[in-house]
Structure 1
């Protein structure tokens, strides 16, 4: 805003010029007086500036007024790339893309804007790289979201798996009730892959502020060897010694590692579990989970005395040839047996005949989680493994702070006892069972998660922003308006205008038909997703 002295001086100059043009500026001899010059105005009005007065005078003359308050504010913003109607068309495009199941990305929105501009002006330049940000700021009814791809089978389960999840929990409750499964007999086992010497790529930290902001980087040992951890826990918060699977067996230099003596190592070509490792792990789990059972502790049962053999189906009287069945449990009634429930995912090693047969022999009930549901039903995933991986990152950073430039599998195994104890706490394990609804058995968490996913696309729009969205009845309204204008002003409109209105009516009618087709397409897509999931459950494959 200019200074008051400059404004008053400029207004005096313009007023004197206007009086001269009207013939009102005369002296005593009735001769025309010279108008007030900018130099004289500067002398009369203390604190004014000659160039500022000249600029304001020009603005007043363009506005044809001597009152500065009547001068319109200058528009210093850039010219708009799209009109209001064209921007609303972009908003409609965004809405349709979201309804179709594939929300519009930045590139698609820019392409739509370029298409509209090229239809108006074939020589129009593409929109700038900042146009998307300005468009987003101008439309508060739109919000940014992270588009995350999801495997088809998991997406199908979340779309149509509510009823199946309810049935699964119903069967789980029946099994727990029938076989008197307590918290100490309800187990979950899962595997987690850990890259031994890789720091997490993204982590928040604090650094000293500098004039030029640069990325904060840190040295990483880059030991990409993978280790698979098999961890177990029951609903009472107890656990069994872990298993670590590497590509190579431990060497003699590992003998001085300060680790859990009950921890087991295994080797596979891929560093992941397989059917053979799973069977050996089951024997290890059988022995340790028996000792953690509250029923066993209350009845003071000994493993060998109860089953008549050890976990390898051998005894001191028969140390070479294994039994076909534990001799100690033959002839016992179902109510007398001690049952344990093991909940696992559908990993191929868990489905081997040898593994299932072994569990049956020792009264271990195996419940397989629903396919593609482990992200919400696996207690180890929900409550433990993230803490375990955080503890691993903590030990890795401590090693780097001490000046070590490497962190190999021996270092990992040496610190794994602390890592395991920090991750597999009773609180974390119990929290995993509660979050998943496995024990006490309740379908509420899982079903609530699925319903929330399904309702996410139908969330209520903020009332303060709903008025900014295009009207749902915009196509019929436009058709009725075009017809009314054509009928009411038929006699005064020219022939080209009549033809233009007829074209508008045809285009709007076409848009109404296309809208109905798109709605049916979206509904059909959701129906096919559910149908495909149901056919996969029956062992068939739905149409893609």
Structure 2
């Protein structure tokens, strides 16, 4: 390599097969066309304060040690004591293109919130419990009602619409969530499947520095509390420290800018489209495979919902037609696409 000073060895980032197949120019172009139409429909092109992105990330006591300064003559890598893996704690993070961020919303594993779990929380932090520590449809609806809506209503006029960009996880597209969002003028916009690594603002510019800040906070805790390990009672304080350091105005603005949302610029993501997808299979087959997989998963979930809650059948139909079985705006009643095949039991 010394003979070629202009080149260097680079370790490529790992990319799953599903992400490689879906990171295609046709998918991205369609996404930006729908996004542009939505921004124009609700007059949000120049309103970064009304464009939000929400996403979840998991944390536990096991952390990655930060780098340390060492002598070049050391033959062995230095070691750092870490804590054992603990139960998962989920953070629901949200911010807008103007740089405003919501306080943390933390989900702990368990049945009842212990007051000791709240130690070190930032002002406005909310807490919920679940059997797994992950979010679910009920918790996300609670988040929308008790955390997102009050924050948004303080920053908009009553008749103004808010755009909420999120991935297509089933907890985000339940009938109750869609009904609530429609009632409160919240426009939910679903990202294309398996494209959050370059289209979702929080994934692109926030969660990486947040994880780094969390690892640094954990390392400081281990250094300042010799002989102790991090437990679930320390997670809130550490996550809130990382949240405060990562969810800054500049980071949020740059994340929405890097994903081409505000200012609206589809070209900025072209460099992130996976060129190796052409080596996997043809573009047409890739799109069909990704769409079929997404449609099958969504159809199965909506079918189960309609069976368990017959009164929600019409609402479920409108959800499916609102996102056209793929991605875009979930608008509820008024969608015209037929969806009888979802409920066909013959």
Bin for the TM-score computed over the shorter chain? 0.7 to 0.9
The SS at the match of 2:261 is coil
Identify the residue that residue 191 of structure 2 maps to in structure 1.
369
Aligned partners of 1:530, 1:340: CA distance in 2, in Å? 34
TM-score (norm 2): 0.75
Contact 1:172-1:441 at 8 Å conserved across structures: no
CA 1:270–1:173 in 2, change beyond 3 Å: closer, same or farther?
A: same
Contact 1:245-1:266 at 8 Å conserved across structures: yes
Q: 1:200-255 CA distances to partner (integer Å, 9 max, x unpaired)? A: 15x43212455x61121111122433211100000100011221111124324346
Shift of 1:343: 0.3
Tell whether 2:95 aligns with 1:227. Answer: no
The SS at the match of 2:89 is strand
Aligned partners of 1:441, 1:165: CA distance in 2, in Å? 13
Identify the residue that residue 144 of structure 2 maps to in structure 1.
282
Correspondence list, 1:56-455, <5 A: 146=11, 150-158=15-23, 161-181=24-44, 182-195=47-60, 197-200=61-64, 203-210=66-73, 213-248=75-110, 249-254=112-117, 257-283=119-145, 284-293=147-156, 296=157, 306=158, 337-404=159-226, 405-450=228-273, 453-454=274-275
The SS at the match of 2:88 is strand
Structure 1: gaps spanning 5 or more residues: 1-135, 297-305, 307-336, 458-522
Identify the residue that residue 285 of structure 2 maps to in structure 1.
532
Identify the residue that residue 120 of structure 1 maps to in structure 2.
none
Shift of 1:399: 1.2
The SS at the match of 2:154 is helix
Aligned partners of 2:161, 2:232: CA distance in 1, in Å? 37
CA 1:254–1:271 in 2, change beyond 3 Å: closer, same or farther?
A: closer
CA 1:144–1:439 in 2, change beyond 3 Å: closer, same or farther?
A: closer
TM-score (norm 1): 0.49
Contact 1:376-1:436 at 8 Å conserved across structures: yes
Identify the residue that residue 488 of structure 1 maps to in structure 2.
none
Q: 1:269-325 CA distances to partner (integer Å, 9 max, x unpaired)? A: 2211111111111112112112133xx3xxxxxxxxx5xxxxxxxxxxxxxxxxxxx
The SS at the match of 1:414 is helix
Identify the residue that residue 4 of structure 1 maps to in structure 2.
none
Aligned partners of 2:213, 2:13: CA distance in 1, in Å? 27
Contact 1:238-1:292 at 8 Å conserved across structures: no
Aligned partners of 1:208, 1:240: CA distance in 2, in Å? 43
Contact 2:259-2:269 at 8 Å conserved across structures: yes
Identify the residue that residue 312 of structure 1 maps to in structure 2.
none
Aligned partners of 2:293, 2:68: CA distance in 1, in Å? 50
Shift of 1:150: 3.4
Aligned partners of 2:71, 2:220: CA distance in 1, in Å? 21
Contact 1:245-1:267 at 8 Å conserved across structures: yes
Runs of 4+ in structure 1 deviating by more than 3 angstroms, as ranges, are 136-140, 142-150, 252-255
Contact 1:340-1:365 at 8 Å conserved across structures: yes
The SS at the match of 1:384 is helix
CA 1:139–1:259 in 2, change beyond 3 Å: closer, same or farther?
A: closer
Contact 1:233-1:239 at 8 Å conserved across structures: yes
The SS at the match of 1:365 is strand
Identify the residue that residue 316 of structure 2 maps to in structure 1.
none
Contact 2:106-2:126 at 8 Å conserved across structures: yes
Aligned partners of 1:146, 1:209: CA distance in 2, in Å? 23
The SS at the match of 1:410 is helix
The SS at the match of 1:418 is helix
Correspondence list, 1:518-529, <5 A: 528-529=281-282
The SS at the match of 2:93 is strand
Shift of 1:377: 0.7
Structure 2: gaps spanning 5 or more residues: 295-346
| Greater relative CO, 1 or 2 (CA 8 Å, sep 6+) | 2
The SS at the match of 1:232 is strand
RMSD: 2.9
Larger proportion of helix: 1
Q: 1:402-437 CA distances to partner (integer Å, 9 max, x unpaired)? A: 134211122121344332211111111111100011
Q: Answer with 1 or 2: which has the greater Rg.
A: 1
Contact 2:49-2:100 at 8 Å conserved across structures: yes
Aligned partners of 1:139, 1:395: CA distance in 2, in Å? 40
